[in-house]
Structure 1
């Protein structure tokens, strides 16, 4: 246990010494690389779509269907009551003809 503690302290001290020796230019380069990686990851992550189980829980939390604002969407699923599907493209003002 004491040996592990000494090892962790040693690793932290060595890391701190290495950071103190870095130039401002290398820190700027690291920041640019991290920003680029973050931008790439943001492009890869899509919009989360709730499963049917998630939708059931949301509907249960809101009460019986239709208790919310009419036409308010829950992540792309229109709230128009029972037996209806998503609105057609014409309802959104797009022309498919």
Structure 2
């Protein structure tokens, strides 16, 4: 299947959770699962981990006058992650049947 036809097919599943297996080895051979965000002829973009909700702007935890910041204070927040996969590296694509 050409990259153009594959991209057309994949774009039908934007907004759904999918798993994409690639031709690469190692841990990436286990596949990438996430929310399909974007598809074009060059790559697909998956949201593989959602970030935490924004903090309350009135909270003392984020008030700069209260104390100096350190990275460990914010370790409970996740930033999320996005994965861009070249379409030429896609070996298979899994989605729900319904």
Q: Which protein has the bigger strand share?
A: 2
Higher helix share: 1
Same fold (TM over 0.5): no
Q: Which has the higher contact order (CA 8 A, sep 6+)?
A: 2
Which protein shows a greater Rg?
1
Q: Which interval holds the TM-score relative to the shorter structure? A: under 0.3
User: Scaled by the length of structure 2, what TM-score is found?
Assistant: 0.22
